[in-house]
Amino acid sequence: MSNKMNDTLNYLLQNCNHNPVNFTYFAIGSAPHCSISELNERYDQIIPKFILDILDNTDDTIRIINIDEVFENNHIQMNEKIQMMTEYHKSNKWNTNYKLDFEYTKYENIHIWRTKDNRVESIIIGGSFTHKNRWNDLTNDWFIEKLCDLTLKFNSKLVVQEYTGYDLDNLRFELFNKSLNKELFKNKILIDITYGNNCGCGTDLIKNKPIYNDFYDFINFTLMKDSEMVDIIGKSDEIDEIIKIFFIKKFRQIIHTIYVDYRRKKSGQSLMFGHSLYNELSTAGQIMQVVLNELNEIIKIFDLLKMLTDEKKELIKNLFEKYPEYDIYKWGEIMINIYK
């Protein structure tokens, strides 16, 4: 993490503080890998479709921040990509009733396009945004935390989207748990519009977008309690599909962690994952009871989502009641695919 990047991000934060907007979109690794003519609403990460929807359906002022290393001054593709962004902002290619008529300015490695009425600000930053990981404690994640603070300060909205494949789950929960106003955070800050489903360079931006409630606040699925998700099942097919994906992921995680600990305990090995409801002194049977209890709660939700046939329900009953009679690996293989 360079001092130059820190200076750039600090400068940007000052601008965000002195010139607040209603809606901020911060994208990491969003440089296009195709020509302007090939860049469509499905894959345009610079000004994505959900931003166009905001322009057409609200009076919100918008700040768009895209950061990617290919825009950096010493990158081999820099001149080509910046020229492409210049053409992009002149193209008027967007399917919106609001005319995006941009004027260009520049500050060091920050490229800025603003509409003449100052409603929309589109910022391109050259550099590599670094997340904390097991090998590196140096991180730019502080910038996202400061953006969150400003969002809550001004009661605005923030979307943070990663397009490099990096999973923002841990950062989301860390920032949420730090927040002194968790309810406002949940309503105003959305970290990952795919809700943990797909944060790669090929994210479908027609399918993936923020979901709002009747008060134009985010329905923040990944920060909801399970009971809160159950309460909104049936509101729309779109919402049900997101809930379905969320609980499938959670269901599979139980098989990949708690059930693995059960298998290891059964064969006399030490636990690999651990859990608040069991430890090394627990028996295999006690660990398996945790597996069954946690799976059962999700199976109830699968049933509410109409994911289970009568035949599947009967199979689940058999798997629960007669698990000692199954091959230990076969049981897991059948159960992990039970919703298909």
pLDDT at 198: 65
pLDDT for 223 beyond 70: yes
pLDDT of residue 167: 84
| Residue 152 and residue 188 in contact, taking contact as beta carbons nearer than 8 Å | yes
Residue 148's contacts (CB-CB under 8 Å, 6 or more residues apart) are 158, 175, 179, 185, 189
- Most confident residue range from 76-85, 146-155, 215-224: 146-155
Residue 151 has pLDDT above 90, yes or no: yes
pLDDT band for 200, please (50, 70, 90 cuts). Answer: low
* Higher pLDDT, residue 23 or 136: 23
**Statement: residue 5 has pLDDT above 90:** no
- Average confidence (pLDDT) over 303-308: 96
Provide the pLDDT confidence category of residue 248 given band limits of 50, 70 and 90: very high
Cβ-contact 94, 73 below 8 angstroms: no
- Residue 197 pLDDT > 60, yes or no? yes
Q: Which residue has the higher pLDDT, 36 or 47?
A: 47
pLDDT at 229: 93
Give me the residues paired with residue 125 across strands. 67, 110
Percent of the chain surpassing pLDDT 70: 95
Residue 162: pLDDT band with limits 50, 70, 90: very high
Highest mean pLDDT among 17-26, 34-43, 201-210: 17-26
pTM of the model: 0.86
Confidence category of residue 276, pLDDT binned at 50, 70, 90:
very high
Give residue 1's pLDDT band: very low, low, confident or very high (50, 70, 90). very low
Please check the confidence at residue 75 and state whether its pLDDT lies above 70: no
Under DSSP, the state recorded for 93 is -
Q: What is the pLDDT of residue 73?
A: 65
Distance CA 155, CA 177 (A): 18
Q: What is the mean pLDDT of the chain?
A: 92
> Residue 136: which pLDDT band, with cuts at 50, 70 and 90?
low
Q: What is the pLDDT of residue 76?
A: 66
Q: Is the pLDDT of residue 185 over 50?
A: yes
Q: SS3 of 198, please?
A: coil
Residue pair 176/186 in contact (Cβ under 8 Å)? The answer is yes
- Answer whether residue 311 shows pLDDT above 80: yes
| 138-141, Cβ contacts within 8 angstroms, sequence gap of 24 or more | 138/1, 139/1, 140/1, 140/5, 140/6, 140/9, 141/171
